[in-house]
Amino acid sequence: MTSGNDTAVLRVAGRPVGRYVTRPELPARLSPRPYLHPVTTLAGTAVTELAPADHAHHLGVGVAVPDVEGFNFWGGRTYVRDQGPTELDNHGSQRHVAFQLRDPDGFVEELRWVAAGGELLRERRTVAATALTDQAWALDLTFSLTNVTRNPLSIGSPATNGRPGAAYGGFFWRARKESSAPEVLTAGAEGEGQVHGRPADWLALRGGTWTLVFAGATEQTRRDPWFVRTEEYPGVGSSLAYGERLPVPPGETVVRRVVTVVADGRLDRDAAAALVRKAVSP
């Protein structure tokens, strides 16, 4: 991985497939945080978007949480119960501390989640890129969030704050927007209405010339329902707080791991499942 002061380039077999920005210059309202963008297929097709007009706080691929004990690490407005989306001065930021490991195909990073002048969470983020075939590679992202305060914290979402179905927060991938909405499918269902808000071993988002296949790579991650948007905008996340808030006691750690297959072409179910098995296998 080659790097400058604030960016790093992720490579697969010497080919650049992702740019990681560690210290983005962003307004506080967007909850500044490190992100991957652009992420591309092996043929060079970009499959992420950065700060699009429809949601300026969507930053490629990363970890974003709209409610950590009332602080917004997602960006934009905060959903307030019985009030709706509201502009609040409650935004936090994820601050890159150091790379503990850096290789051409990945890194281990330490981050501080800071709000109102204090550190709430310490994160260890591991990212690795692996070749699968000559048309597909896998992005393996693990994040570990540790409560470094003396008090209990909890992670919420607009859903836990009263907005049904809006359980975003955690791993999130803002995908490429095209003239037609992408298709979304799992092993047993298809369409946003059938896959959103449900757990599935894997979920595929299929665009014009590309496919992304997301898979929880731990038992706990697989229990988290998927957050899916296709019509309003193309995005997929894994929900940390779907039906209720997720408690994080002092000193305790929340760990999630999502592996994403990035493929050229439009994969069918069998091909998607086969690549996921290859990407997630021990």
- As a residue count, the chain comes to 282
Tens of pLDDT along 41-95? Answer: 999 999 999 999 999 999 999 999 999 999 999 999 999 999 999 999 999 999 9
Q: Give long-range contacts, CB 8 A cutoff, 24+ apart: 199-203.
A: 199/223, 199/224, 199/225, 199/226, 200/226, 201/276, 202/272, 202/273, 202/276, 203/228, 203/236
pLDDT tens sequence across 96-124: 999 999 998 999 999 999 999 899 999 99
Q: What is the pLDDT of residue 117?
A: 84
User: Cα dist. 139→32, 105, 121, 128, 136 in Å?
Assistant: 22, 10, 24, 6, 10
Buried b (16+ CB within 10 A) or exposed e, 227-248: bbbbeeebbbbbbbbbeebbeb
The domain spanning residue 25 has which CATH number? 2.70.98
Question: What does the mean pLDDT of the chain come to?
Answer: 96
Q: What sections of 152-268 are H helices per DSSP?
A: 192-195, 219-223
Angle value at C-alpha 162, between 27 and 239, nearest 5 degrees: 65
The residues near 206 (Cβ < 8 Å, ≥ 6 apart) are 182, 183, 184, 185, 212, 266, 267
E-only strand ranges, 175-273: 183-186, 202-206, 210-216, 226-229, 235-238, 246-248, 253-264
| 107 within a domain of the structure (yes/no) | yes
Question: Tokens standing for 223?
Answer: 């229990």
Report d(CA 158, CA 210) in Å as an integer. Answer: 30
In-domain check, residue 1: no
Whether 2 is covered by a domain: the verdict is: no
Q: Is residue 115 part of a domain?
A: yes
CA distance 195 to 208: 20
Would you give per-residue pLDDT tens digits along the chain (282 residues)? 444 456 889 999 999 999 999 999 999 999 999 999 999 999 999 999 999 999 999 999 999 999 999 999 999 999 999 999 999 999 999 999 999 999 989 999 999 999 998 999 999 999 999 999 999 999 999 999 999 999 999 999 999 999 999 999 999 999 999 999 999 999 999 999 999 999 999 999 999 999 999 999 999 999 999 999 999 999 999 999 999 999 999 999 999 999 999 999 999 999 999 999 999 976
The pLDDT of residue 4 is 47
pLDDT at 7: 81
pLDDT for residue 281:
78
Tokens encoding 146: 């540790």
Is residue 38 in some structural domain? Answer: yes
Domain limits for position 259? 7-280
- The reported pLDDT for the residue numbered 2 is 46
Helices (H), the chain: 192-195, 219-223, 269-280
In a domain, 276, yes or no: yes
What's the rounded Cα separation, in Å, for the pair 147 and 253? 7
For the chain, how many structural domains are there in total? 1
Residues 116 and 71: beta-carbon distance below 8 Å: yes
Residue 240 lies in a domain: yes
- Do 213 and 226 meet the contact criterion of CB atoms below 8 Å apart? no
The answer as to whether 238 is a domain residue is: yes
Query: What is the 8-class DSSP label of residue 30?
Result: G
